[in-house]
Structure 1
Amino acid sequence: MPIEFPKISASKGTQELIVRQAILGRQGEVVGYELFVRDEDDGPLTDPFLSSARVMFKTFSVFNVEQLLGGKPAFINFNNSYFDEESLALFPPKQIIPAFTITEAPSHDFIEKLMNLQKRGFRLALDRFEGVAWQMALLKLMDFVKVDTNTNEPAAWEAWINMVRKANLASTPALIATRVETQAIARRCFEIGVDYSQGYYFMRPEIVAGRTLTENQRTIFNLLNLLAEENPLSDIEETFRKDPSLSYQLLRYLNSAGLTRGQEIDSIRRALILLGRQPLQRWLTLLLFASQGGHKSPLLVIAATRARLAEMLRERSTLLESHPLALHRSFLVGMLSLLNACLEQPMAGLLDELRLCPEMRAAIMEHQGEDGILLQVIEAAERGDIDVVRDRAASLGFTIADITRMSLESMAWATSLE
């Protein structure tokens, strides 16, 4: 039974990217997203109010908000010069958290608007906190405070974090460290009392010398190699038999995904036949990224988004081969492109152990070939690099609007994974 992918409609005329960046808790769980727009002509939109308005309109009027956010709140940026309380009040307060960048001491009128938003049920965030006196005075109105760790020296942002933590408040706002680029900075932020972090650090592997695959990971690698090399079903079945936990996960997946078609699954062999080789490869690759804790790994969501988007780009391009094997290869390339971040080991060594074909290896390591171009588009869309998206998308026969629609469909599918 083929997997059904959710559809998200978008205006064919839009030439903008909506970028979604995760905000993570201490255990790596996703607690929310920041949404922002990249415009085809201007990159980041030059009018801050227009940018915020477009994000809100598209999030709640054009796209399916549940699929885009997965039930998490969206942080959307405003400042005190471009802010319309009544327009913001048209949107659901549980799903939007206005994040204010305030560049000068706010007026009484502005503070009154903030208080009115609170009365309507909105939670508020203060962005780019730097310990200025009038920022300190606003803390009592804030539920979140965001501190930039990238453009400021560590001594400065650590001092600002301590100022918030030690402020004499009835309720201390939650601290969010932004633009966190390395695992080391993320750890330091949490050590000194930050509640959440935002940045691409979790996608950048922290290579640990001497780290090897766990027994479970090695079993999955072995199964992926057996499948890629088209070994007999009996070899694959025997590997599953040696790992009761993996066998249980396979049977649970078949039942939860509704793939049993009402049939009783009385053996691993029957389960393998019912699922098929290519779907089994996909499931095992997803399993490598699955969190071992009680929450969904953000790497799983991003890797799955890449995988589905790579497959979709190939499927819908009139300039690329779209036979089933090519689609399957693109899916795996997208998924495996973050394997080093997942396992915190050098990519070259991991790909050696997986014994990938030269084309897949070149796509992942050097962004070469058709799948390499697909990865270039996908990674540029993640960064909001609209110039690269436009150029690479055009070489595949797509517009920015096409990439936006397919990106959001892919996010929806990845967010829905259990």
Structure 2
Amino acid sequence: MGDGEIIRCYGFNITAAEYNCAEHWHVCYRCPTLEPDPDIAGIGVTIAFLLSSFSTLVGSLLHLLILRSRVRDRESYNPIDRYLRRRVAVPLFRQPRCKEQGGGGKVEEALFQFVQSMSDAQLASGLGVLLAGIIKLRHDTISIYHFSVVTNFGWLSSNVHLLSLLSIRTRVFGSLKRAERVEYARATAGRGGVLGWAGRAFGLWGDVMVRSALMVGMVGMLLYCSWVGAWKEWNSQYECPARCALGRPKGGGPLAWAIASMILAVWGYGSHLFLLCIPLQVLWLDRFRSRFIDNKTEPDHPMKGWQKLARVPWYFLGSEALQWITDGLVWFVWGCYWIGSDMREVRKGGSSWAPGVWEEEFNILGFGQLVPIMLFILPFWQVLSSYCYLIQPPDVRNAHGEILLPMRSSFLSSCWAGRFQILPKYQILSFKRLIE
């Protein structure tokens, strides 16, 4: 079809290249036929997004389970999290064998680096795909179907990124409860005591500021894309340019989903941005939570009746376990469903679809298809290299923790060193020496 396709209108004909939503929406019989765009909805991009989101989801869960298996009972105020910690985290990651081998810390360190890199990748990829979709929308070069795919990818990356922040924040900031802050200050008395803890916390302001700014940009674009997709005819006009939805009346199912998505976005990003701000979180824990939610930080002050009732919804809203189930698992499955549902509509075809759209869009493996798949390998290579670095015997490193091998950043050399207990005096290694 292409730009030379003839569009029949009332009393005249135009080509697809001449079609304009503002001028021809009410005077033409149909929109131009849907053209393939494999760099947006191709098999390579789809696989890369789904696999990266799923791996981040699983990595965040495992890392959070390892961290929570070390939490003492008195530190866990939420009964839902406390129950699941005893039943799931502790039996899985605090077995005697794991303690003897000391593998928990090595696995946790490797998982943390993996989750951190994948979290940043989710944020960057979500920002990139949403920004590209909005630019194409302004240039009138993207269809409603492809804009729906862009929005779904953005939501998928957003939800997984927010979930990964839970384990990263727990690892980097630690517990900010009053008792835990005092214990940490005592443990670091040689490094400045409370001032040392404050320096450690507020020394992260650069990373927090950059991350917060990117998150604000992410939620802003998500809200905008959701509102664009609230057009009441959105789900029945996939082949039309997405620009046709601008200024059209909102309503029906698309509007209901847009409102629900926007509420969840504001709540999710608002709560995580609040938790990234350490002064606000400390103020909440020390001054307000004990007055409105629980009295476990101040047991000498008995709770009132309305405070006991307020704890019940708070336990559900503040539960890490339920947050992983809802924000992570449920929304990941729901996002996959919507992506598959949109693709099924395209695959069905119809009178207004270009012939072979599905096959052409999914079978062309170009630059935009292969690059995301190749980049997806990097985080796994990083976590393997990190783990092999951690299993090095002590005598393979010098006083600065550097491996005394000519290829110390190599995954293969690190694993060989950890596997065969190579001593520092062997500066030049070969497979022959290893075999001997």
Bucket of the pairwise TM-score, normalised by the shorter protein: under 0.3
More strand by share: 1
Instruction: Kindly indicate whether structure 1 or structure 2 has the higher relative contact order, using CA contacts under 8 Å at least 6 residues apart.
Output: 2
TM-score w.r.t. the length of structure 2 is 0.24
